[in-house]
């Protein structure tokens, strides 16, 4: 199945709340966009830092999932965000991440970069995603 279709057809519930739409996806990376809506903002109507982090974290997870074996999952165990400028209501946030940085601990360290369209600024987000975590579909 096409990677882009796979991600858009199987959106995480929270990604739907964010309004995230994948616009490119392959084994080497993922790109998505999100329009800044008032309900995702703080005052004075700029994108809330938590929404930025959730957007970037979702990109990192998606890039990791595209390269996992069947039946395996991932979770974020560490993240770091640098906010370099605000994104106002109406701006489109574009985020992208490569999917190929593996480190010796069995983790992937994606480097997501979010750019604001129609607004100056950007955010750098770095997270640590463990690879091939077993999925328990019936948690206790």
The CATH number for 126's domain is 3.10.129.10
The answer, yes or no, to whether residue 105 has pLDDT greater than 70, is no
pLDDT above 90 as % of the chain:
24
The answer to the question of residue 139 being in a domain is no
pTM for this entry: 0.78
140 domain-assigned: no
Residue 56 lies in a domain: yes
- C-alpha to C-alpha distances, 79 to 9, 23, 40, 75, 76, nearest whole angstrom: 26, 23, 20, 11, 7
**In the chain, how many domains are there?**
1
CA dihedral 13, 16, 18, 24 (to 10 degrees): 110
pLDDT tens per residue, range 43-52 = 989 999 889 8
pLDDT band of residue 132 (cuts 50, 70, 90) is very low
Count, residues in the chain: 140
Would residue 91 count as lying in a domain? yes
pLDDT band, very low/low/confident/very high, at 20 (cuts 50, 70, 90): very high
Query: Regarding predicted confidence, which is higher, 30 or 74?
Result: 30
Q: Where are the alpha helices (DSSP H) in the chain?
A: 3-9, 13-18, 49-65
Report in angstroms the alpha-carbon separations of 119 from 23, 113, 138: 20, 15, 43
16 within some domain: yes
Q: Is the pLDDT of residue 40 over 90?
A: yes
State the residue range of the domain holding 95.
3-134
């Amino acid at each position: 199945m096409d990677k882009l279709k796979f991600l858009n057809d199987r959106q995480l519930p929270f990604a739907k709340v964010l309004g995230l739409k994948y616009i490119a996806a392959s084994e080497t990376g993922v790109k998505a966009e999100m329009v800044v809506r008032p309900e995702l903002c703080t005052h004075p109507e700029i994108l809330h830092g938590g929404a930025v982090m959730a957007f970037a974290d979702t990109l990192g997870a998606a890039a990791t999932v595209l390269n996992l074996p069947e039946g395996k999952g991932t979770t974020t165990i560490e993240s770091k965000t640098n906010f370099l400028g605000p994104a106002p209501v109406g701006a489109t946030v574009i985020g992208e991440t490569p999917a190929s940085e593996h480190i010796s601990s069995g983790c992937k360290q994606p480097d997501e970069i979010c750019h604001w369209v129609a607004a100056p600024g950007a955010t750098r987000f770095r997270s640590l995603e463990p690879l091939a975590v077993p999925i328990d579909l019936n948690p206790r």
